[in-house]
Amino acid sequence: MVIPAPNVSGLADSYERTRPRYPVELFAHAVGLLPADARPTVVDAGAGTGIALEALLPLLPADAEVHAVDVSGEMISLGQEKFPQVTWERGAAEQFLAGRDGVDLVVAALSYQWMDRPAFLASAARALRPGGVCMVVQNDRDYRPGGLPADYEDLLKEISPFYSPGYRGTIDVEGELAAAFDQVERRREVWRQPLPVDEFIRVSSTSTQGQRAIATAGPLYLSRLRALCARHARDGLVHVPHVTEAFYGRARG
């Protein structure tokens, strides 16, 4: 099943400003799996504005060949401003990978759930060199300790249609990768992101579920969200715990 992708039209600037980043350690592990003396070819699949590239590019050799693929022209325009050394392509990552070979690393950072996943995995497996790596990164708020994340989940469940907490966790990424690749590894990092209240509200407004809540309840949702943040903010900041998981599939030799 393919989950309908969010409508990001007109939201690229806010997306770039407010989206959580990724722990660099998870990307360092992926790069460490590649041959040390190679000039790697890398594809960032569903790259958005290049948020994953912020962590990844400094870890790669200067002569690496890097492609970033996304369906949104607005996202690509911002990404090109940030990383002009990267080759940006507009379109579906599944189709882009289907026409490539000799790739060393494919990264899908917070984009895997929007793809035709069987098609993506099949294309990635064909495009990768023997021993190449397909990396899937999933980022979620950690609402288990309670506090702001738990109250925010309750608000989304109340107002956002069809919301299910931890919906990305319903995808068996490890099992799906295992069907396409010989070896699969999983790593996890827990971290906190401090955000000004207005920025957190912008984060919600650019998220899929936040857009649905705004479409359903409009100013009521934003008013409730602001009141929720006021209860939890300290010195104008809210601290949002995140769990980031990375899955690494090695291509068959």
pLDDT band at 164, cuts 50/70/90? low
Minimum mean pLDDT among 162-166, 192-196, 225-229: which range? Answer: 162-166
Question: Which among 74, 67, 57 is positioned nearest to 12, based on CA atoms?
Answer: 74
Q: Per residue in 225-240, pLDDT tens?
A: 999 999 999 999 999 8
- Please say if the pLDDT value at position 12 is more than 90: no
CA-derived radius of gyration, the chain: 18
Q: Does 233 fall in a domain?
A: no
Tell me, what's the pLDDT at 169?
57
| Average of per-residue pLDDT across 216-230 | 95
Tell me, what's the pLDDT at 138?
94
Q: Does 199 fall in a domain?
A: no
Beta bridge partners of 192: 241
Tell me, what's the pLDDT at 4?
46
Classify 24 in phi/psi space as left (phi over 0), alpha (psi -120 to 50) or beta. alpha
Q: Does 236 fall in a domain?
A: no
Q: What is the mean pLDDT of the chain?
A: 90
* Domain coverage including residue 106: 12-141+165-192+243-250
Q: Does 150 fall in a domain?
A: no
**Residue 70 in contact with residue 46, Cβ under 8 Å?**
yes
Tell me, what's the pLDDT at 31?
96
- Please say if the pLDDT value at position 207 is more than 90: no
The label of the residue with tokens 């890398």 reads 42
First-to-last alpha carbon distance for the chain, in angstroms, is 29
- Interacting residues of 240 by C-beta distance below 8 A, sequence separation 6+: 20, 141, 148, 149, 192, 193, 194, 195, 200
Q: Does 230 fall in a domain?
A: no
Tell me, what's the pLDDT at 1?
42
State what percent of residues in the chain have pLDDT above 90. Answer: 70
CATH of the domain at 104: 3.40.50.150
Minimum mean pLDDT among 72-76, 84-88, 192-196: which range? Answer: 192-196
Number of domains in the chain: 1
Question: Which among 144, 112, 91, 115 is positioned nearest to 248, based on CA atoms?
Answer: 112
**Residue 60 in contact with residue 31, Cβ under 8 Å?**
yes
CA quadruple 244, 92, 73, 66: dihedral positive or negative? positive
Q: Does 4 fall in a domain?
A: no
| Average of per-residue pLDDT across 111-122 | 95
Q: Does 55 fall in a domain?
A: yes
Q: Does 66 fall in a domain?
A: yes
